[in-house]
Chains A and B, each alone.
Chain A
Amino acid sequence: MRIFKYLLNLLPEKIAYAHCDIPCGIYDPHQAQLAAHTVIRMTQLLTEIKRDNETKVEHDVARMTHVKEEHVNIIEEELETLRNDYFKEEHYKQYSGLNDLFVKALKSASKARQNIDIIAAQETLSGILEIAEIFYKTKGVVPVRVKSIYPTGGEIVVYK
């Protein structure tokens, strides 16, 4: 069974959508920003871990890795929702780099999931902040970068 699953994992992976039919109009890049900060924090904690108690280390690494995985999944889901459901053709015309921002943020998120890679984690946040700024502009409000109150430092984008 393990070999079967290993072989299946060698197959190319694509994306399929099981879309929501209720156009609720509630979109927000905030969740993706929080998740990106969480990925940075888990990456920091994984690099800072002290190897003084083997059992505890194994336990902590498993938990931190699990949370990192979960939050990359949240980033992917939130970004795909904004990319496919919220942003329309006119937005992509007006902000010509928008699709590239999504591609780069999703690729660096994937890299941050596969590795303990603080640069990839920070690049993910950086891309999401730029997407958030464009999102708020399309909503007719003024985006503002403020210092985050999280242990990760860095910024989040809110609006005036």
Chain B
Amino acid sequence: MLLLVRFKIFGHSMEPQIKTGETVLVSNIPYWFKMPKIRDIVAFKDSTGKVLIKRISKIQKGKYSVEGDNKKDSLDSRRLGLISKNQIIGEIIYKL
């Protein structure tokens, strides 16, 4: 169970807020008390098990559409598909 993990970020899709090479703290504790909401930045596993970070842009029938902040440089739900809550491993709560 993930309580608090540091993730080093590779890729430019969350710039300018989170740049490649930066480290963030991810925790699932916030989602013990609330559901993920629009504008949350979340870490989640894609279908291959790779961990990605994106911002939740829409919630449709309990599934989450995610996008990068850097719209010209981001893999988003148009290609990823909607993600489910059990794919979300936590919220980005702090940038180191």
A-side interface size class? 20 to 34
B1-54 CB contacts (< 8 Å) to partner A = 4-15, 18, 20-21, 23-26, 43, 50-54
B75 within 8 A of A: yes
A99 within 8 A of B: no
Check A5–B96 contact: CB distance below 8 A.
Answer: yes
A6-65 CB contacts (< 8 Å) to partner B = 8-9, 11-22
Interfacial residues, chain B to chain A (CB-CB below 8 A)? 4-15, 18, 20-21, 23-26, 43, 50-54, 68, 72-76, 79, 94, 96
Asked, given contacts A5-B96, A8-B25, A84-B50, whether A20 binds B10 with beta carbons under 8 Å apart, the answer is no
Check B4–A11 contact: CB distance below 8 A.
Answer: yes
A-B contact pairs, 17 of them (CB 8 A): A8-B25, A8-B94, A15-B51, A16-B24, A17-B9, A17-B52, A18-B9, A18-B15, A18-B53, A19-B74, A20-B11, A20-B74, A20-B75, A22-B72, A22-B73, A76-B10, A76-B21
In the assembled complex, how far is the CB of residue A131 from the closest CB belonging to chain B, in whole angstroms? 17
Check B10–A80 contact: CB distance below 8 A.
Answer: yes
A71-89 CB contacts (< 8 Å) to partner B = 73, 76-77, 80-81, 84
Partner of A18, one of B4, B12, B23: B12
Asked, given contacts A13-B23, A84-B50, whether A18 binds B11 with beta carbons under 8 Å apart, the answer is yes
A21 to B13, CA, bound (A): 8
Interfacial residues, chain A to chain B (CB-CB below 8 A)? 5, 8-9, 11-22, 73, 76-77, 80-81, 84
Residues of A within 8 A of B51 (CB): 14-17
Check B8–A17 contact: CB distance below 8 A.
Answer: no
Check A19–B7 contact: CB distance below 8 A.
Answer: no
Residues of B within 8 A of A8 (CB): 6, 25, 94, 96
Residue of chain A at shortest CB distance from B19: A18
Check A16–B13 contact: CB distance below 8 A.
Answer: no
Check B25–A15 contact: CB distance below 8 A.
Answer: no
A8 to B96, CA, bound (A): 9
Check A17–B73 contact: CB distance below 8 A.
Answer: no
Check B96–A18 contact: CB distance below 8 A.
Answer: no
Residues of B within 8 A of A73 (CB): 21
Residues of A within 8 A of B50 (CB): 17, 84
Asked, given contacts A21-B79, A84-B50, whether A15 binds B68 with beta carbons under 8 Å apart, the answer is no
A20 to B20, CA, bound (A): 11
